[in-house]
Amino acid sequence: MTVTNSRETNERTAAERETAGDQLSAISDAIERIASAVAESVVAIKIERPGPTHAPGFDTRSRVGSVGSGVIASSNGLIVTAAHVVERADRILVTTPAGDELEAAIIGRNESTDLAILRVDASDLIPIAPSTTPKRPGQLVLAVGRPPMAGYVVTNGIVSAVDRSTKTFSGTPVNDLIQTTAAVEPGVSGGAIVDSRGALLGIITSATDATRSISFAVPIGQVLETVNSLVPAAAGIDTPFPHD
């Protein structure tokens, strides 16, 4: 009797383990598919800024570079990023998911939301859809960025709080943010926080502490308001962040 019960227990445990493994594999596959799809709407950004002049009277300024990410808002070249990423930029280079390097112009910036709108000369980019899901603590999220020379990077977490305030890396205070547990690395500012369907929940603005284990994002509502206020109606740009 004891042997039979032990065998049944082992068989049941093995079956439960297999079922749990199948469920985890399905979740893993889903995350991989969502991340891959979102990455097609995330670009790499390289910035050149003026450095110190080494010889008085001569134009011999060195170039100080920095990097970030951006999110494609329209097929014909509208890109949203964090304003601090392009602060004091002399030159902005955007690398698309296809690998094309394009020079970008700043259409507008809003320091209070830490958002900037860029434009590149392109016609076949893949814009991301905005999330229509209300942001709420406990919501599963992915952070997707594309630091130059690194391909796209993905981390996962949850919305840990809403309506938070913080300062960007350049010291600008920003309010009404989404706080998440998705860790972000250097070069991911300006990238995407997306929901479980891969829709844009917010634009990454900053992270806290040395571990970068808590990140903040400007919510999609503010992103849409900022884009609509900064992009001229007659600019010949497709509707930003199209959705069904």
**Whole-angstrom distance, CA of residue 115 vs CA of residue 39:** 20
- List the catalytic residue out of 114, 195, 206, 215: 114
The catalytic residue among 84, 195, 206, 215 is 84
Residue 54 among the catalytic residues: no
Q: How far apart are CA 204 and CA 69, in angstroms?
A: 9
Q: Let me know if 84 is a catalytic residue.
A: yes
Q: How many CA atoms lie within 13 A of 78 on its CB side?
A: 25
- Closest to 91 (Cα-Cα) out of 117, 113, 71, 65: 65
The catalytic residue among 41, 66, 189, 206 is 189
Distance of CA 168 to CAs 76, 85, 89, 174, 242, Å? 29, 10, 17, 7, 28
> Is 212 in a helix, a strand, or coil?
coil
Place of tokens 């997306």: 194
Which residues belong to the active site? 84, 114, 189
